[in-house]
Amino acid sequence: MDTSHSEPKLTLMTINNSNWRKVIRIKVKPEQLDFIAEPSYYLLLCHYGELWQPLAVILGDQVIGFIMWAMDPQDGSCWLGGFHLDADWQGKGYGRQTLQTAIKMLSEQEGCRDFALSVLPNNPAIKVYKSVGFVETDEMEDDEMVMRFSM
C-alpha cells in the first residue's frame, strides 16, 4: 500500500488578479442563500468598504471557498465574515479546517487573539462555529448574534 500520497493542503490566499474569477464562481447550496450573499457582493464590500480583507480558500490548486476578515479597533477583535464553502466541498470537514486555518494565520500575522463573527440565530452553520470553539454571546450585530473565540 502506498502511504506517500497525502491529502491536498488547505491554505488561505489573498484574492488577486489570478484567482478572483474562481472566487465569484463559488456556489453554496440554495437553502444557504437565506444566510449569505454571493461572493461577488463580499468582494465589492472588501474593495470599496476599505475595512474587510478577502481570502480565497484553496485546496491543493482549487479555489473551494471564501472568507474575509477585519480588525475592530474598538475591542481589538478580529472579525471573520462572508464565509463561503462551495456546495461540492461541504460536509467534508473543510469548513472547520478553514476556520482553524484562518484563526491560526491571523493570530500569527496580525497579533489578534480574540475572534468574532455574527450569524443569524437559525443558521445551521452555528454548529461548525461551535465545533471550532466559538461561543454564543448576548451581543447582537443588527439581527445577527455575535459569537466569540479566544485563544
pLDDT at 151: 80
What is 10-110's CATH number?
3.40.630.30
Can you give the pLDDT at residue 110?
Answer: 66
In sequence order, which ranges of the chain are alpha helices (DSSP H)? Answer: 20-24, 39-49, 94-109, 126-132
Query: Burial level of 140, CB count in 10 A (0-12/13-18/19+)?
Result: exposed
Cell representation of residue 43: 468582494
Contact (Cβ atoms closer than 8 angstroms) between residue 52 and residue 45: yes
Residue with cell 454548529: 127
Kindly report the backbone phi and psi dihedral angles of residue 95, in degrees, each rounded to the nearest multiple of 5, phi listed first.
-65, -50
- Residue 64: name the closest of 122, 11, 117, 124 by CA: 11
Please tell me the distance from the alpha carbon of residue 27 to that of residue 95, in angstroms, as a whole number.
14
- What does pTM read for this prediction? 0.91
Tell me what pLDDT residue 6 has.
75
Distances (CA, A) of 36 to 33, 108, 125: 5, 28, 11
Residues 37-46 have pLDDT tens digits of: 999 999 999 9
pLDDT under 70: residue ranges of the chain: 1-5, 109-111
Residue extents of the structural domains in the chain: 10-110
Could you report how far apart the first and last alpha carbons of the chain are, in Å? Answer: 39
C-alpha distances in Å from residue 111, one per residue of 50, 71, 118, 146: 20, 10, 21, 21
How much is the CA Rg of the chain, to the nearest whole Å?
15
One-letter amino acid for residue 151 of the chain: M
